[in-house]
């Protein structure tokens, strides 16, 4: 199975400051169609996960533009340009290129 | 709008089985795979498997192969996840979710299954 490794696992951030989460895969996520199927999810406390980003850098409908995704191959990043209080939660990356789909361990974002 | 409505919380004794339902609405049920994902208390997300609601075909993570049964009733747009012979380690929130572009785009609200003697 493809192992997804996130860092950091804990991310204290001051309101209004940027935040960045790294996700590395144990194999390339480039599928035969040339697309990397890497997604990012946010899970607020007590809620179901919500997808923020798919195919590395595509924001889902309703996701604020302060969230952005980038990367290629085995190295990916989720960036929040200015952290707001509602961004508190756990962020997961997930690969959908290889079976089975696998998630990163999660990064807990909290406000300093 | 797309919604996945799951059945309510369950408390089961070790050795019992549990069946969780997931009713889809807002889209054509047979057009999208349904995934099941487990989250143990305070832990991360673990993909369990998927079912193709059109054909009934399934695929499982190795951890759950031979243990979990995924079924569906397309006439009522509902998918089911059954886990037999429960142990304390099966205590978790179980999510159903819809396949979207080699990803998961919509999630159910989760069903807490507690295994307790």
Report pLDDT digits (tens) over A57-89.
Answer: 999 999 999 999 999 999 999 999 999 999 999
Q: For an interface test with A, which of B38, B49, B103, B112 has the most A Cβ atoms less than 10 Å from its Cβ? A: B103
Residue B112, pLDDT > 90, answer yes
State the smallest CA–CA distance between residue A101 and chain B in angstroms. 7
Rounded to a whole number of angstroms, the distance from the CA of B103 to the nearest CA of chain A is 6
What mean pLDDT is predicted for residues B86-106?
Answer: 95
What the block records as the tokens of A66 is: 């302060």
How many angstroms from the chain centroid is the CA of residue B94? 6
SS3 B12: strand
**Chain A residues within 8 A of B109 when measuring between CB atoms:** 48
Cβ-defined contact of A104 to B44 (cutoff 8 Å): yes
* Mean pLDDT along residues B87-92: 97
SS3 content of chain B, % helix, strand, coil (to 5): 10, 50, 45
- Strand locations in A28-74, DSSP E? 38-43, 50-54, 58-59, 67-72
Band of pLDDT at residue B101, cut at 50, 70 and 90: confident
> Confidence band (pLDDT; 50, 70, 90) for B76?
very high
């Amino acid at each position: 199975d493809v192992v997804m490794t996130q860092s950091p696992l804990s991310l204290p951030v001051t309101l209004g400051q940027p935040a960045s989460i790294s996700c590395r895969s144990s194999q390339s996520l480039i599928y035969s169609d040339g697309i990397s199927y890497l997604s990012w999810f946010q899970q607020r406390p007590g809620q179901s996960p919500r997808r923020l980003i798919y195919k590395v850098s595509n924001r889902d409908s309703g996701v604020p533009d302060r969230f952005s995704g980038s990367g290629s191959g085995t190295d990916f990043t989720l960036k929040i340009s200015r952290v707001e209080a509602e961004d508190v939660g756990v962020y997961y990356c997930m690969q959908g290129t290889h079976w089975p789909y696998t998630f990163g361990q999660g990064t807990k974002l909290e406000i300093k | 709008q797309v919604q996945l409505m799951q059945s309510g919380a369950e408390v089961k004794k070790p050795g019992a089985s549990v069946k969780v339902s997931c009713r889809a609405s807002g889209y054509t049920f047979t057009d999208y795979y349904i995934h099941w994902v487990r989250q143990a208390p305070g832990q991360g997300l673990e993909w369990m498997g998927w079912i193709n609601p059109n054909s009934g075909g399934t695929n499982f993570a190795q951890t759950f192969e031979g243990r979990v049964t995924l079924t569906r009733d397309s006439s009522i747009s509902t998918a089911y996840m059954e886990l037999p012979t429960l142990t304390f380690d099966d205590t978790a929130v179980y999510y159903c979710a819809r396949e979207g572009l080699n990803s998961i785009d919509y999630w159910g609200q989760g069903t807490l299954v507690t295994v307790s003697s």
